[in-house]
Every structure is written in C-alpha cells, then in structure tokens.
A = this chain, B = another copy of it.
Amino acid sequence: MQDPIITLTTDFGDDSPYVAALKGVILNINPSARLLDLSHQIPPQDIRYTSFFLAAAIPYFPPEVLHLIIVDPGVGTERALLFVEVAGHRLLAPDNGCWTELIRGAAQPAKVIRLVETRYWRPLVSPTFHGRDILAPVAGHLSLGLKPELLGPLAEDWVRMEAKSPIQQETDWRGEVAFVDHFGNLISNLPAEALPAALPCKICVQGVEIIRRVRSYAEADPGTLVILTSSVGLLEIAVVGGSAAKQLNATVGTPILAKRTMA
C-alpha cells in the first residue's frame, strides 16, 4: 500500500521552528507519512490569501492526499477546528472560511466534522498552538486509517468566506484585484469569459488604461502592460518582465473596471 501523503500549508514562515514541530508530531504518530510542504509563506493570518491559494492548488491533487491548513488568527478561542471533505478532497483547517471557495466546484455538499474527540490530540494543548497539539496529531491518526467520523460530530454550519463577486453593468464589469502573485501579476476576480479575447476591450486600474490583450507574457515587449487570461481562468494584468503590482501601485482589493470598446 502507498504511504499516505499529508500536505502542509501555514503562515508560520520558513524560518519557524513551529513548522518543524508539526512535522515531528505527525511522524511521531505515523512515521510512514510522506510530508509535502505547499507553503509556509502565507502572509500572517491572511484568510483571503489562503482561500485563493487553496482554490488554485487543492483541485490538482489526487483525492487520497490529506491537506493540513494552519492559518489561524482565532487560535485558542471558541472557533472550531474542522475535518472537511469537499469536491473529492480532504482537509483539516480552522473554521475561518479559508476552504469554502472549494465548495463552488463541488458536485456534492461538503461533509464537515467538528474536531472534539480529545483522545486524538496531544495530552497538553497550548491555547496558542492548536496546529501542533490538535491538527497535527489528528492528521497523523487519519493517515493511519482512522475514520473521520470518530473525530467528532457532523457540523451543520461553518464560516463562509465572503467572496467578492464582480458586478456587471451592461457590458462593463467592476471587479478588483483578488491575488498578487510572486511576479507582481495582478489576478482579478473577473472571469476571463467576461471579456472575450476576440472583442476589443480595455481595463482601468489606478487611473491607467490597458488595452493590449495577449495570450502569453512574451508576446509583447518588456515593460508593456498587458491583459491576459491567468492560468486559473481569471483576467490578469501583467507587466512583461516586470511587476504590475509595483508599476500600478496596486494590491489585493484595488478596483478594476473592465469595458468593451468599439471595434
């Protein structure tokens, strides 16, 4: 049988002993677990970033993988910790909405279990580190074949991320920057179909009009502001060989106006 895979996504930072502690706890329970870092550089306590990250990453994994997500500003409060089955994937995460974007693509409703069975936790639980003391040991036990139903009762409600949907006004769309990637590309919340590549259009961000539509970055000269379809199917604004975030002084939440123009 295949050794089970557990992925790790946290905001702990790559310089952090807390990441190492998580790994140790899991391996102590299941030394066969194959641990896979997704990222430990989620911006601190940034649920929205986590939400976009997971939606762009989790769907590519096979269903048998277990995903451990620890971005948890509410640690130590009454917020729940959850085991989730959604769209064929299995996650452990705090109940803060970070995973609910995954429901959108799901054929079936999510199955959500609230972690309450302390027998699968570490004996002493620090109020500041539930990742190490609750989520990691639960991940270890699940990877050994424990049935999720033994972790606690089914949850009937959970926190949902308020996704910022774009607004359509006739042929115009008002949206915003949903994600800024490592290259400084601005990923909007506008579906690429909103502005079919075949029709002339323009995008306005921070008072700048962008009209050049390309399929790939290298199609235009270095330094050019371009519109393209991002690899996750959303409209994207980029500077060829540069950072659109810097050049336009734009960040998550910056408004974007997309308009059809005359042919």
Contacts and interface: CB of A to CB of B under 8 A. Distances in A.
Contact of A14 (B14, B21, B58, B132): B14
A128 B230 contact: yes
B31 A7 contact: no
Contacts of A58: 20, 24
A182 B7 contact: no
Interface of A: 2, 5, 7, 9, 11-21, 23-25, 27-28, 31-32, 34-45, 52-54, 56-62, 64-65, 73-77, 126-129, 132-133, 181-183, 215-219, 228-231, 236, 241
B182 A44 contact: yes
B5 A216 contact: no
Given A18-B181, A76-B217, A215-B76, A229 B128 contact: yes
B20 A76 contact: no
A102 to B, nearest CB: 13
**Chain A to chain B: the 7 pairs with minimum beta-carbon distance, closest first:** A76-B216, A13-B182, A24-B60, A20-B57, A129-B231, A17-B56, A24-B61
